[in-house]
Amino acid sequence: MSYVPHHGDSYGISKEHKRFGYDPTTKKCVKFTYGGCDGNENNFATRAECRETCKDYSNYDPTDVCKLPAERGPCMDNIPSYAYDSRTGKCVYFSYSGCGGNDNRFETKKECMKMCKPKSEEQDVCSLPVVAGPCTDAYTRYAYNSKKQKCVKFRFGGCEGNANNFETLEDCQSVCGGGTTKPTKPGQGT
């Protein structure tokens, strides 16, 4: 049983399906839209079916999945995924094969962080400085500027930054709060 509902893909199929999946963070069966293909076992036609199947998981600690190693699985697909690395305390990108593996697998870095990142560590991330790093790539990223008490846009060079580095404004705000400001110069967020 996979603990996180996978919404699946539609592959051009125009009909979407209203389904139910067990949300381990709320410990409730929740409605979601299933695309019709590539879902997982956490996908039920009715809320009652979901509740009956998942009642044994009500005492399950969802952060247990965060202690598992990332597992690609034996199939041949390459699905962009994230897993929590308990040694480094970070959500890391990996390519999921499409079958097998384990439940330490998330569609987005945000989902991974929401499930696995301890709240006390999240607050520490928000107090770190904005670091562009020494490399020369120019990735648009967001970081929390604790002096301005806002998430700011900056250019990340691609290496040697810190954990105060979010791919989207929404990710930054969900972890640290605060609005956004535009940087004064490229590469600067302070």
103 shares its domain with 141: no
Instruction: Work out the average pLDDT over 93-97.
Output: 92
Q: How far apart are CA 59 and CA 107, in angstroms?
A: 24
Q: How far is CA 20 from CA 6, 23, 90, in A?
A: 11, 9, 29
CATH code of 155's domain? 4.10.410.10
**Tens digits of per-residue pLDDT, 158-178?**
887 888 999 899 888 888 876
Q: By residue range, what is the domain housing residue 32? A: 1-60
**pLDDT the model gives residue 103:** 85
Nearest CA among 59, 65, 51, 56 for reference residue 4: 65
CB 154 within 8 A of CB 139: no
38 in any annotated domain: yes
Residue 13 lies in a domain: yes
Residue 10 lies in a domain: yes
With respect to residue 153, please indicate whether it lies within any of the assigned structural domains.
yes
144 domain-assigned: yes
Q: Which residues contact 61 (CB under 8 A, 6 or more apart)?
A: none
| Residue from 40, 47, 178, 19 nearest 106 by CA | 40
* Confidence (pTM): 0.38
> Do residue 55 and residue 71 come from a single domain?
no
The answer to whether position 25 is within a domain reads: yes
Which of 17-31, 108-122, 125-139 is predicted least confidently?
108-122
Number of domains present in the structure of the chain: 3
